[in-house]
Amino acid sequence: MSSQKIFLFDFDGVIVDGMHEYWNSSLLACEKYLNSPYISVDEKLYKRVPNTFKEIRPWVKYGWEMVLIVHEIIKTENPIKHLNKDDFINNYYQNCERILKDNSWIAEDLQRILDKSRKYQINKDFKSWVNLHNPYFEVINFMKELKKREIKSGIITTKGKIFAEKILIQLNIFPEFIFGYESGTKIKIAEKVTQTYEILGFIEDRKKTLIDVKQNSETSHIPCFLADWGYLKESDRYNLSNEIKLLKLGSLEELVAI
């Protein structure tokens, strides 16, 4: 086992609350790059994140899904609203696939225009884009405490690496590495990391990801923590196996005793 100790972190929902950024960037992607005839974008839409978007967010795995969801929320006909939101959520993955097919979209293209939207905002007004992210300062302080104890931090995110990196620099956080969606699945990345480091914990707000980590023979030994402050489904907090611990923001400091 390597003597290099490390904690792994998800990014959105764990280190920062990026809800406003995801909404604004996905909305801009729809308006500027998607060329859909089914939507109408009003400037007022940028001012606040609809509750419907917030409620669907815990089901999202990849960034491109956000563009699809925003499109469905702002459609001029039969949009997703609070009343029919549950119908969409109950068959979330099937609905995403259906919408891709109905519009002749490719997931990679939606991801590309989301990244393009971010780059546009960064070039136009970097400070405004950064300010769309609200840091969890308890996590930032925990990462700084790890550094004092010579324990490293690593980021595994489904956001593009360059975007996560820009935000972390502004927060004065410099992890050992950042793996974005370009690097493949979180499970494969964790397999690779465990060959070099002793992983003291993986803090993530997507329960299914942690279940996958525990069910994989190469990564099952990694201590897994579900971030209670992240984008959780209400049911995620219950029926957790003994192998996955629900972690509160106020309990972060206890982890350094591991």
Same domain, 89 and 198: no
Q: How far apart, in whole angstroms, are the C-alpha atoms of residue 96 and residue 100?
A: 6
Measured from the Cβ of residue 231, the count of other Cβ atoms closer than 10 Å reads: 22
Which of 83, 99, 130 finishes a domain?
130
pLDDT of amino acid 256: 81
Nearest to 127 by CA among 166, 100, 154, 97: 166
Same domain, 45 and 104: yes
The total of structural domains in the chain comes to: 2
| Residue 159 belongs to domain with CATH number | 3.40.50.1000
Same domain, 51 and 161: no
pLDDT of amino acid 82: 85
Same domain, 177 and 187: yes
**Sign of CA pseudo-dihedral 221, 223, 226, 229:** negative
pLDDT of amino acid 232: 96
* Cβ proximity of 123 and 216 under 8 Å: no
Token pair listed for 118: 């971010």
pLDDT of amino acid 142: 96
Q: Which domain holds residue 149?
A: 5-17+134-257
Same domain, 91 and 184: no
* Cβ proximity of 65 and 58 under 8 Å: no
- 10-residue block means of pLDDT along the chain (258 residues)? 86 97 98 95 95 96 97 96 92 97 97 98 97 97 95 96 97 96 95 96 97 96 97 91 94 83
Which of 130, 150, 166 finishes a domain?
130
pLDDT of amino acid 250: 93
**Coil vs helix vs strand at 1:** coil
Same domain, 149 and 119: no
Same domain, 126 and 113: yes
Q: What does the pLDDT look like over 69-95, one tens digit per residue?
A: 999 999 999 999 988 999 999 999 999
Same domain, 212 and 153: yes
pLDDT of amino acid 241: 86
Same domain, 43 and 114: yes
Q: What does the pLDDT look like over 28-41, one tens digit per residue?
A: 999 999 999 999 99
